[in-house]
Amino acid sequence: MTPLSEFFLTAESIVYGFAIARLLHGAPGIFTIKKSSITVIIVWITCCLHISVSLWSSTNRFGFESLDFLDFNLVLIYSGITYFMCDSITPHNAEKIESWHSHYLSIRNRYWICHTFLALDSIMKVEYSAKHHMGEMYEVLYFFILIPWILISLFGYFAKSERIQLLAVTALLLFYCYNSFVTFLSSSALVK
C-alpha cells in the first residue's frame, strides 16, 4: 500500500468510525421496542450495512495511485454524507429521544436525501475515475446498483404514509443485503 492510498483510507476510515460510533450510541434506544419501531430498526441495520460495504469497498479500491484531489474530495464527501445520515438517525442526545419512530418520521426526508446524494456521489466517482477501468462492469454497476439506489431513495423521499415508509426502508434493506451478498461472494475465499 502506498502512502497516498494509506492517506485516502485513513481519512475515510476516521469519518466512518465516527458514523458507526453514532449508530452504536443510539442502539440501546433503537432496540427498545416501546420506544422504537420495525422501521427504525431496519433503517439502523441498513446504515450499518452501508458503512460495512462502503469501508470494505474502499479497502479494495484499485488504482489509488492514479486518484487526484477531486477523487479524494468525492471520497470524503461520500463518507461525510454517511456520517451526516447516521448523526441524523442517532444524534448526540439519543438518550433523550422519547419515541424513535417519531424521531425517524421527523428526519426521514434528510435520510432519503442522504441516500440520493450518496448515489449521485458514486456516479460522479465512477464517471470521473473508474469508468475507463471497469469494462462491462460499468453497465452492471448502473443497472444493479446506482439506478435502483436512486429509485428506492426517491420512492422513500416521496412516501408519506408510515406503511409506505416501511415498504421503502425494507426495499432499501433488501437492496443492501443483495449488495452485501454480492460483495461477500466477490471477495470470499469460498468462491475463488
Render each residue's pLDDT in the chain as its tens digit; 192 residues: 566 667 777 888 999 999 999 999 999 999 987 889 999 999 999 999 999 999 888 776 655 556 678 888 888 999 999 999 999 999 999 999 999 999 999 999 999 999 999 999 999 988 887 667 777 788 888 999 999 999 999 999 999 999 999 999 999 999 999 999 988 887 765 555
| CA pair distance 93, 14, nearest whole angstrom | 21
Containing structural domain, residue 18? 3-187
Cell readout for 132 is 475507463
Cβ–Cβ under 8 Å, residues 106 and 154: no
Our count of domains for the chain comes to 1
| Phi-psi sector, 37: left (phi>0), alpha (psi -120 to 50), beta | beta
Cell readout for 97 is 429521544
Q: What does R_g of the chain's alpha carbons equal in angstroms?
A: 17
Is residue 192 one of the residues assigned to a domain? no
Is residue 121 one of the residues assigned to a domain? yes
Cβ–Cβ under 8 Å, residues 74 and 8: no
pLDDT of residue 3: 67
pLDDT of residue 192: 53
Is residue 44 one of the residues assigned to a domain? yes
Question: 112 Cβ partners below 8 Å, 6+ apart?
Answer: 153, 154, 156, 157, 168
pLDDT of residue 153: 98
pLDDT of residue 58: 77
Cell readout for 165 is 415508509
The burial class, CB within 10 Å (0-12 / 13-18 / 19+), for 22 is buried
The burial class, CB within 10 Å (0-12 / 13-18 / 19+), for 154 is middle
Q: What global pTM score does this model have?
A: 0.90
pLDDT of residue 71: 82
Helix, strand and coil content of the chain, in percent to the nearest 5, comes to 85, 0, 15
